[in-house]
Structure 1
């Protein structure tokens, strides 16, 4: 069954300053889970040219390992992460490679994390590895 409304999906790696301010500046509404749909580059692309043979997935996994401490520092926690292996309902030109979930106690906690110099230092791996992503905020917390 198709919907009569147009539906567009656009992957991105970074936000504009306005998007970040709007998201992090929204009214506080308690705990939330972020769904991250990730599409990796075939090869990592670091701004400084390092590791040209590293896969995008492996660059992102560097970020994934390092972000665990950043999440813990603000009271957030990782959830399920794994490869996407199929699509049951709907259509999309190309599937994402991986899904990763993270629970945050508040927008303030997420804001604190992404603005911290320690987070900024590891974000280089995320940016090098990702071709694009969708980040979807959901209300609530893990069971």
Structure 2
């Protein structure tokens, strides 16, 4: 299995992703790798870590996610791997629930998202985004007891 982290999807990859049938709610698994230090295009804030730059993005994207009908599900630091091998572990995993592909697409294109995307680019060395949905025979747990 080949694993390639990226910060932005290529045009064909994004088009293919958003042209699939919109079959309702899904959870996006984000595997994140941060730069050691933030790399803003204007050279500002070079003293903060990539994780700190990405945290600026996350604080705002959570609000956007909710405003588009989604919600953050989980985020945490990757601390180890039990099974399998990768060349280098991701730094963080985040799960975000979206009500539909259309809602995600609209959120990705909105002006508020464009206004915060520089924090994402400054902080991320790369990531994988994996779209998931529950099997029909499995109940989706929406609220923890």
Contact 1:33–1:142 (CA under 8 A) maintained in structure 2: no
- The root-mean-square deviation of aligned C-alpha atoms, in Å, is 1.0
Alignment: residue pair count: 137
What CA distance in whole angstroms lies between the structure 1 residues aligned with 2:43 and 2:62?
A: 25
Partner of 1:83: 77
Gaps of 5+ in 2: 135-139
> After the TM superposition, which parts of structure 1 deviate over 4 Å for at least 4 consecutive aligned residues?
none
Counterpart among 107, 129, 132 of residue 123 in structure 2: 129
2: CA distance, partners of 1:43 / 1:51? 9
**Structure 1 spans left out of the alignment, 5+ residues:** 1-6
Matches of 1:100 and 1:81, distance apart in 2: 4
Q: Secondary structure at the match of 1:134?
A: strand
Partner of 1:90, secondary structure, is: coil
User: How far is 1:68 from its partner?
Assistant: 1.2
1:25-64 map, 5 Å: 25-64=19-58
Query: Normalization by structure 2: what TM-score?
Result: 0.91
Under a length normalisation based on structure 1, what TM-score does the superposition of the two structures give? 0.92
Q: Which residue number corresponds to residue 13 of structure 1?
A: 7
Residue 112 of structure 1 is aligned with which of 91, 106, 109? Answer: 106
Aligned to 1:3: none
Name which of structure 1's ranges 86-95 and 46-55 shifts more when overlaid on structure 2. Answer: 46-55
The change in CA–CA distance for 1:9 and 1:83 in structure 2 (over 3 A counts) is same
